[in-house]
Amino acid sequence: MVKTDFSVWSFVKQSIGKELSKITMPIILNEPLSFLQRVAEYMEYSELLDKAVGEKDPIKRMELVSAFAVSSMSSNAGRIGKPFNPLLGETYELHYRNFVFVAEQVSHHPPITAFHVESDNYSLRATLQFKLRFWGKSIDVQPKGLITLQLYHFNESYTWQNVNLTIHNILTGKIWVEHTGTLRITNHSLGLYCQLEFHPSNSFGHGCNRVIGELYAPSTLDKMQAVSASNTSHNTTVNTTINIISKNIFNHHNNSYVLKRIIFGNWSRGLFTVEPNVWNEKEEIIDNQPKKNSNNNDNDDADGQSTNSSECIESWIMDSKYH
């Protein structure tokens, strides 16, 4: 728990509008962790990657990877303490479950952290830089740096960049945090992408932590799967041929994308995925379950039969952390 019973006015006077990494912060605002340890929390839901490497359907793999990308931010819910800045060259190593996590502070000004995660089935790496600005009532955390995931068995590469974090009510009222912005996860091997919007809450705090987005696949996905299936060898020449064919398919100027899934939920709890034809934009997440607004009528499926919201849910793709 971070204490707030200290005089902040002298700190506020020198800090408004400035980049906080260049300002001496009161130690009472820190939590007893190094930033390198905090970054290791990216892997809290590593079981989502374990499921992804065992999933043959590329659409479902994309769902799981997208859920993992969102889950890496879930530890920020209700978290208001600032971790301590690591020393230049400081490292942190974690052996946990079936992976090894290694992080190092590679730059002091500006602060830049690099980390690498290695498992038998995947690797995850990134170089992270965060800009923190204080605006009197709030602090904005703006992340920079691309996160890259590789799934070895499928020879797939995914990338994304985290969205902004805002800490509200720094001076008065109850402190709370929210993520806002657009998160785009791209599968560079098969051409799929998932674009998620982190919506800001309104002035009354309603709609906090809401996420909604869409998963798209290229219309040529079936062709690419056929090419991959017909070449089961791991020979370098064969893999090179597959990569050349995939580039020709996905870079073609006539290539189009097809909406495959609607993804929605709460970044601090979990995500749901539904087929586009049964999507109800009034869906809400209440007590970790999808619940339809009582004023809405049930959706009709393709056969004209009534389908309630719980039947529309295809899968719960991120475990709930808060019950």
169-214 pLDDT tens trace: 877 778 888 999 999 999 999 999 999 999 988 766 666 789 999 9
- pLDDT tens readout for residues 20-36: 556 666 777 788 999 99
- pLDDT tens readout for residues 60-69: 999 999 999 9
What confidence score (pLDDT) does residue 300 get?
42
Q: What is the mean pLDDT of the chain?
A: 77
What confidence score (pLDDT) does residue 221 get?
79
Residue 119 has pLDDT above 90, yes or no: yes
Dihedral pair phi/psi, residue 15, rounded to 5°: -110, -20
pLDDT band for 259, please (50, 70, 90 cuts): very high
Calculate mean pLDDT across residues 209-232: 74
Is residue 148 within 8 Å of 125, Cβ to Cβ? yes
Residue 278 has pLDDT above 90, yes or no: no
Residue 107 has pLDDT above 70, yes or no: yes
Helix axes 236-250, 221-229, angle to 10 degrees: 170
- pLDDT tens readout for residues 145-171: 999 999 999 999 999 999 999 888 877
What confidence score (pLDDT) does residue 270 get?
86
Selection from 115, 103, 112, 170 nearest residue 144 by Cα: 112
> Where do we find the tokens 């509008």?
17
Q: How far apart are CA 117 and CA 24, in angstroms?
A: 32
What confidence score (pLDDT) does residue 104 get?
98
Residues 6+ apart with CB under 8 A from 58: 154, 187, 190, 192, 217, 221, 225
- pLDDT tens readout for residues 47-58: 999 999 999 999
3 CB-side CA count, 13 A: 6
Q: How far apart are CA 27 and CA 103, in angstroms?
A: 23
pTM of the model: 0.78
What is the helix (H) or strand (E) element at residue 217, kind and residue range? Answer: strand 210-218
